[in-house]
Chain A
Amino acid sequence: MDLADLQRRLAAGLTGRGPGPEGVDPGALERARRGLESKRRRAAAHLLPRLRAALGAGWKDRFAEHAERYTPSGLLYHVDDAWELAETLARSPDREIVQAARDDLVSLRLRWVRGREAGAGRLRERKGFLIARMRRPVRLVLIRLPGGRVWRLKV
Chain B
Amino acid sequence: MADLPFLGAGVSFRPAWRWEVIRHRGELGAVECIPEDVVGPAAERDLTLVRDAVPVLLHGIGLSLGSAEGLDPERVRHVARLAEAVSPPWFSEHIAFTRAGGVEIGHLTPLPFTREAVATVARNVAELRRALPGLPILLENIAYPFVLPGAEMTEAEFVRAVVEEADAGLLLDLENVHANARNHGYDATAYLESLPLERVGEVHLAGGVVHDGQYVDSHTRPVPEESWALLEWLAPRTPVRAVIIERDDDLPPFEDLLAEVARARKILDGPR
Contact = CB atoms under 8 A, between A and B. Distances in A.
Interface in B109-132: 109, 111-112, 114, 116-117, 120
Contacts of A15: 103-106
A49 interface: no
B203 to A, nearest CB: 24
Interface string A62-91: 000000000111111100000000000000
Contacts of B117: 3
A31 B145 contact: yes
A19 interface: no
Contact of A125 (B36, B39, B105, B216): B39
B137 to A, nearest CB: 20
Contacts of A3: 68, 111-112, 114, 116-117, 120
Contact of A24 (B72, B149, B216): B149
A39 interface: yes
Contacts of A76: 36-37, 39
Contact of B211 (A35, A75, A125): A35
A125 B116 contact: no
B229 interface: no
A12 interface: yes
Most buried by A among B42, B67, B104, B148: B104
Contacts of A6: 112, 148
B63 to A, nearest CB: 10
Interface stretch (A92-100, A101-109, A116-124, A134-142): A116-124
B69 interface: yes
Given A36-B106, A71-B103, A124-B40, 15 more contacts: A2-B116, A3-B116, A4-B69, A4-B100, A7-B97, A11-B109, A14-B105, A15-B104, A36-B105, A40-B106, A42-B249, A75-B62, A75-B75, A77-B106, A147-B42
Interface of A: 1-4, 6-8, 10-12, 14-15, 17, 21-25, 28-29, 31-32, 34-36, 39-40, 42, 71-77, 112, 119-121, 123-125, 127, 147-148
23 contacts: A3-B68, A3-B112, A3-B116, A7-B68, A10-B148, A11-B101, A21-B149, A23-B148, A24-B146, A31-B212, A34-B212, A35-B145, A35-B211, A36-B105, A73-B104, A74-B104, A77-B36, A77-B104, A119-B74, A120-B75, A125-B39, A147-B42, A148-B42
